[in-house]
Amino acid sequence: MFARLSLLKIYRIVSALPALLLATLCLWSSASAQTTVRELRVGVASHVRTLDVSEATGNNEAQFLHNIFDTLIERDNEAAPLKFRPGLATSWKMVSDTTLELTLRDGVIMHDGSLMRAEDVQYTLERVFQPKDPRFRASNGRFFYNFKSVEIVNPLTVRIHTHRPDPLIETLLSARNAGITSKQYVERVGLDAAGLKPVGSGPYKVQTLKPDEQAVLVKHEQFWGEPPPFDRITYLRIPEVAARITALVNKEVDFITNVPPDQEAAITRVKGYKIVGAAMPIFHIWVINMSHPQMANPDLRKALNLAIDRETLVKALWGGRGKAPKAHQFAEYGEPLFMPELNFYRYDPEEAKALLKKAGYKGEPIEIVFFPEYYLYGDLGAQAVADMWKKVGINVKLKQSEAFFGTSDHGNYQMRPWSNPLYYPDPMGVFDTHWSANSWVSQRGLWKPSNPDWGNTYTQARFATDPAERQRAYRKLLEMADAESGWIMLYQPYEGYAMRDDLEWRIPTAQRPYELTFRAGQITVKGR
């Protein structure tokens, strides 16, 4: 008994030590959680491996680029229709149908201390206008395939030449991937190193980037514009949503992204925090492999679209706060290009069954590939749609995939998830960026419109300078696209951001989705 007590006594004393240590660490932790007023800590669900402005076209990179790089022409963050204002160019004019002359802003000091000059503009833009390196092809394919070259007139004047007249020239030059970097810096350190510590001219410069983990931006003291509201922004990757929400309410971060609707209560029940959310101008879709023998019949593809009750999906997954689109278009276009009367994405299971019969569908399995994490609720959406399709007699198989597909996989699947964000508020901001002849879906044979008028109509919708003509061509394009049914339209998702309630920030409507805009006037701290 005495021996046992001795052992127990010893153990009790020893076991008290961790508790003591824990208490000390808790106190230390709460002290460390205080942040300086001029620091913003952002918890993001996904991070980046490079911040090269010409290469980084994804949704992840959009969270960063706006704060680091300037473009020649800037957009008003929330104007609809789009309004432009001087950026790195103070003025511009068309000197011919295919040439835009821009006067550059003098005295712009880049993050490496150099003065921005015409050669920086030529270097940065020509690597995407004429992409020799494959890392710039995505940018070229999405935005700049009509741009030919940059001519230096003098150190503060450039002329940008396009292959053909372009009604979207200002819009495209105001896309963040047209941001300008320092030629001498990139040539000195190389593209790879420059992507990890890029040089721009924006209000924040990159202090460190740990790929896929953390980025620290610090205030650029010699920024040419209005000083930014923060001295330092830290972007920390927190992939797990519970950890991300906890980090916010535990005061480890000040702002978090990707708050699912069903988790909002966990934030709003805690005093001092708020949610800012909206139905983002982005479609979650499944792109159909039209080259797959089973998916070649347009009646089958149309039937798949008609068998989806999108209103129910939006109610169930997004609490009614997403949107069930009626056509592949966004209200952000404004009139006349947004046509609210179009209604292609009806829910009509009877017509779906009739089309299946017409297509001669005999019950061959149709495989839905989905990514469980990359697109929020991608797994739930897939399961819901699978049930809807089963009700009209489609034999559905669900296949979860963890990684993005590459070329080697394209021939094997029937459809795969994708998103169509609106890169700029114009029909071509979603159409040209995803469904042009230069897009990867076209290049890989997934998207193969069969209507002989498609090419000409597309060209008119893209390049016509008369708005009425563009509108007519765009309408016809949508009608043809509906007949092809080359993608399964799901919904416009709701995206929520959560933050300290003394932060005033709105989702920018004139920029592409997922841009986090932390410049002066775009975010403020109450009481400052």
Partner 1 sequence: MTRLLLRRAGWAVLTLFFVLAGCFAAVRLTGSPVDLLYGDGATLEQIAELEREWGLDRPLPEQFFRYLHNVMRGDFGVSLVERRPVVTVYAERLAASLQLAALAFVLGTLVGVPLGILSAVGRGGLGARLAMGLTFFGFAVPHFIIALALILVFGYHLNWLPSTGASTPAHFVLPAITLALPLMAVNARYMRNALLDVLRQDYVRTARAKGVHEFRVVGMHAMRNAVLPLITVLGLEVAGLLNGSLIVETVFSWPGVGKILTGSVSRRDFPVLQFGVIVYACVVVSVNLLVDLLYVVVDPRVRVNT
Contacting residues toward partner 1, per CB under 8 A: 3-4, 6-8, 11, 14-15, 18, 22, 25-26, 28-30, 32-33, 43, 49-50, 57, 134-141, 192, 195-196, 210-214, 236-240, 242-247, 249-253, 266, 402-409, 440, 443
CB of 142 to partner 1, least distance (A): 8
Could you tell me where the beta strands, DSSP code E, fall in 395-486? 396-400, 415-421
Distances (CA, A) of 29 to 24, 42, 234, 250, 500: 8, 19, 18, 10, 19
Q: Where are the alpha helices (DSSP H) in 197-325?
A: 241-249, 264-268, 298-306, 310-318
Structure tokens at 382: 């897939």
The residue type at 241: V
CB of 38 to partner 1, least distance (A): 19
Q: Which of 226, 204, 227 is nearest to 111 (CA)?
A: 204
Residue 143 vs 389, nearer CB to partner 1: 143
Residue 22 vs 398, nearer CB to partner 1: 22
CB of 423 to partner 1, least distance (A): 14
Alpha-carbon torsion angle 392, 394, 398, 404, nearest 10: -100
User: How far apart, in whole angstroms, are the C-alpha atoms of residue 367 and residue 365?
Assistant: 6
CB of 318 to partner 1, least distance (A): 24
On whether the CB atoms of residues 344 and 390 are closer than 8 A, the answer is no
Q: Are strands 487-491 and 282-288 parallel, antiparallel or unpaired?
A: antiparallel
User: How far apart, in whole angstroms, are the C-alpha atoms of residue 62 and residue 400?
Assistant: 26
Residue 195 vs 417, nearer CB to partner 1: 195
User: How far apart, in whole angstroms, are the C-alpha atoms of residue 38 and residue 517?
Assistant: 16
Residue 155 vs 272, nearer CB to partner 1: 272
Q: Which helix (H) or strand (E) holds 92?
A: strand 89-96
Residue 478 vs 499, nearer CB to partner 1: 499
CB of 239 to partner 1, least distance (A): 6
Residue 43 vs 225, nearer CB to partner 1: 43
Q: Which helix (H) or strand (E) holds 261?
A: none
CB of 471 to partner 1, least distance (A): 29
Residue 214 vs 383, nearer CB to partner 1: 214
CB of 413 to partner 1, least distance (A): 13
